[in-house]
Structure 1
């Protein structure tokens, strides 16, 4: 008779998988994807190293799953910030602010998600991640156009441009300000950076009153 997993066994496996993903995400936040080795993930999650491969067939799949795990949370935070009864411009600003603030508060993770060189398998996930943000902004732009708050435009094109601007505008301040030991340096005025980035994005969508 073929072996069939019990509900308890499935729940235990799911719990272990979640522990592995959280441990891997924390390692990425500390040192990038290079830090999320199988041995390091096993040690951080207090799981036997060999058991990792029961959940992830290889390192590339582990990293890809960690990328999905991390980005779903980040995208969710931005989406949640835009779900208010405010004007379209204010909703857009809320989403942009959350994106930028979380990147500034977690620069290592932000760089890993935005620009760190990765395996092609993970690069596919990065594209999905950018598209997810673009879909949020596209819906907001459509709403803003209908409400007369934003200029008439191609929402999908502008949304993609916003995602690109956010990523490129933050990479420099976050990761080029390094000392001789390549340590990350704090941003002099993060709120000013966020304000200028928000203003740039509002000009891009042709906001009429902000």
Structure 2
């Protein structure tokens, strides 16, 4: 009993470790059963805590999932943006982003399924929609910058449809994320390799006349 009480105290290093354990358990649980079917009781059991202890860290399931989603999006988007800050052509920089996305998938194996579950609830939960919108704005900024750089360097025609090209890249990454939530990891990786092949062969983006 004394050990259980100590585990439940949100204080210091132990408190942060417990918080992270709750978030990891919630990520896996929501990814497996969906947001609507997930319960704080099941998350607590998975984390090895009492229900009372978990509520000391996160008063509601919505707040818990919102924190998880926000941290995941910030981490993954930050890593993808840094992956594009390398020398090279638009194709090479986007391939660098896709390669980093595979690393993110390995580091956060349940993230894509969690994102899929949250999307289904975003119409009725504004906090979820806000995080999704933030991700989209970040991606638009990344891809708009890549396209503008490619036009400035002469890789793309000066009259290229900037927004259309950026939207194509966004659609590719969102589609690959959706695929990653529904198929085995090897199949997801194979699809990313296929996109990379189209990019490096020059068949996916417009050419200068």
Unaligned runs of 5+ in 1: 1-7, 176-183
Counterpart in 1 of 2:151?
145
Counterpart in 1 of 2:138?
132
Mark the CA change 1:82 to 1:35 in structure 2 (over 3 Å): closer, same or farther. farther
Counterpart in 2 of 1:4?
none
3-state DSSP class of the match of 2:98?
helix
> Separation in 2 of the partners of 1:188 and 1:159?
25
Give the alignment's TM-score, normalised by structure 2: 0.68
3-state DSSP class of the match of 2:175?
helix
Q: How far 1:91 sits from its partner (Å)?
A: 1.0
- Structural mapping, 1:109-128, within 5 Å: 109-114=111-116, 116-119=119-122, 120=125, 121-128=127-134
> Separation in 2 of the partners of 1:53 and 1:125?
23
3-state DSSP class of the match of 1:117?
helix
Q: How far 1:41 sits from its partner (Å)?
A: 2.4
State which of 23, 26, 29 in structure 2 corresponds to 1:27.
29
3-state DSSP class of the match of 1:140?
helix
Unaligned runs of 5+ in 2: 1-9
Mark the CA change 1:174 to 1:30 in structure 2 (over 3 Å): closer, same or farther. closer
8 A Cα contact 2:31 2:110, kept in partner? yes
Is 1:54 the counterpart of 2:52? The answer is: no
Q: Flag as ranges the 4+ runs of structure 1 deviating above 6 A.
A: 104-107
> Separation in 2 of the partners of 1:148 and 1:156?
17
> Separation in 1 of the partners of 2:73 and 2:187?
27
Counterpart in 1 of 2:5?
none
3-state DSSP class of the match of 1:139?
helix
* RMSD, aligned CA: 3.7
Q: How far 1:90 sits from its partner (Å)?
A: 0.7
Give the alignment's TM-score, normalised by structure 1: 0.68
Paired positions, count? 192
> Separation in 2 of the partners of 1:140 and 1:92?
8
Query: Deviation digits for residues 123-166 of structure 1, max 9, x if unmatched?
Result: 22122122222222222222212111233445455324422233
